[in-house]
Structure formats: structure tokens, C-alpha cells
Structure 1
Amino acid sequence: MTAPALTLTVYGTPAPQGSKNRNAHGALYESSAAVKPWREAVKTAALDALHHDDAWTALDGAVWLDVQFSLRRPKHHFGTGRNAGRLKPSAPPYPTSTPDLDKLVRSTQDALKDAGVVADDSVVATLSASKVYVLWGDALRTPGAVIKVWRLTDFLKEPQQ
């Protein structure tokens, strides 16, 4: 299989690109205060990775974006007292509450665009995304995301079997 054009591991709390609000003067601002640090973390990780690739130009052809978000488990998933730190049997294996996966992807795509990974969000022709809890399966040990970007044209060059 073709290797990704770029693989990033981003540490920080993934935050959704939510709705926008207007202030008293009519200016728009993000309703979530957490989105700015997340977008900065993604942008910084991307710029650090691209710093060593002088030939990199923002991808303007069709790409496949694969993102796995690792989220912190809520405290109520764990026992108390002598069971402190132990996962309750009733704790769900996957995150099914907020943040919404599509909004997490939106904030991440915007940061990738700002960093010059992709020319625009519209070049994402294939998308796979998931959200898991930290330390579950192949998830990160702390909150963050693993982001992989492939040029779809690279798959056309592979020999057919």
C-alpha cells in the first residue's frame, strides 16, 4: 500500500469547530474557547513536520484524510474508593457523546489548511475519521490525534493485482 504523504501525531485536547457567535459590535467569534488551542496544536505539528521538507507545497489535488482522535475518558467512567482508577464495567468502549466527530474534523481540516498541508478543505475527496478513548486499542496514551494524508493520485500509480 502507498505510504501517506504526511503523518502527524498531535498532542492536546481535540476541540470541535462549533458554531459562531456575534459580540455586541457584530463581529463573529468561536463559541468554543478550546478550538483555538487545538487548531494551534495541529498547525504547529504540521509546520514542524513540513519544516524538513523544502519541496513541500500545499496539496491541491484530491486527498484522503484519515484522523483518529484520542479523547480522555470522563471521570464518571471510573470507580471510587478502593476501585479508584479502575474502569467501571458499565463504561462504554467508545465515545458517543460530545464532541461531535464531524466538528472535530472541521477544526482539524481548517488547521491543516492554515499550516499549508492542503490548499483548501475542498481537496479532501475521501475521509475516514474515528474517536476513541486514550489507551484503547491503538489510541494515543494522552489526548490528541493521529492524522494521515494521502495523495489519491498515488493510488492510481500502484500496480493492479
Structure 2
Amino acid sequence: MELSFDIRGNLEPYQKIEIEFEELKNYFSDRFENSVTRKAIFDSYAKYLIDFQKEVTPNFVQWIDGSFITNKENPNDIDFVNLIDFDIYEKNEQIIEVKFRKYGAKNNYPGVDAYFVKVYSEEHDKSYMTEFDLVYWRNWFTETKKNRMKKKFPKGFVEIKFGTKN
């Protein structure tokens, strides 16, 4: 898949864009030969994925956003949300909180900013929580932060499906 960017360096189209892991590496790490941050961020992210798949689950969906998926030469980090089955989250909550979510992730994997959405089935009493969370993250990931003029701009974000279940 050929990815494109608007004049501000944001991913187009302004929606969720499904790609493969190798495409993420090629487009957002390898392509930036002069970047002093991208390779280290990507290596830390790749280590996170290996550990997460081994210690929690190989089956999950990830939404990736932030400056890492723009054409900014030297982003500060990679931001993403892991969408995993609620029962897997609850069984692994302690290790997720300590090692793989937000501050645990930042401490263990420099340059990684990780969040989670518990995915409840449509039949589950708490399925509304998944819907609320997905709307929240989709809104957050499809607009930039306000600039100095208090304007936001549209942008796209990336989805990668890991494992065989997804």
C-alpha cells in the first residue's frame, strides 16, 4: 500500500488505514535514513511487541498515531492503543499495568506511549464501554492537537492486526 501525507506532514486519508507491521517499519523507520530518533523508537517498539506477544497475547489489534506516523524527521515517541479481549486484559492486568501500559511501558520501552481498550463482545453487558473507548480514540487519532492559533487539523492513523484471531 502506498501511503501519502498532506502539506502538514499528516497521514492521508484522514481515517483508519490498515497496514502490515513490515509496512510500518518500511514507511516510518527505514525510510528516514537521517533521523536520529526513529530507529531507536522503532527498535524499542519492536521489543515491546515481542514481549507483549510472549507475555500477554499474540492476538490483538493496534491503532498507532502521533508524530511517529507523520513525516516528521525526529519524532519523540510512538503512540498506540492495544485493543484486546477484556478477559485477556483482566487475566493479565497486573503485568499489563506494570510493564505494558502508559508509565510501565515508558519505563521499560523508551519512546513507547501505550494505552489499552478492553474489547467486550456485542452481547456483553459492558460492550458500551468498548464503543465509548473506540469513539474516544478515533476522535483523538483523527485530529491534531490545537496549534498556537487554536486550530486543529485532520489526520489519519494506522491499524495493524497481530495474530491469527484478528
Larger relative contact order, structure 1 or 2 (CA cutoff 8 Å, min sep 6): 1
| Pairwise same-fold verdict (TM > 0.5) | no
Aligning the two structures, in what range does the TM-score lie when normalised by the shorter sequence?
under 0.3
**Is the helix fraction higher in 1 or 2?**
2
TM-score after normalising by structure 2: 0.22
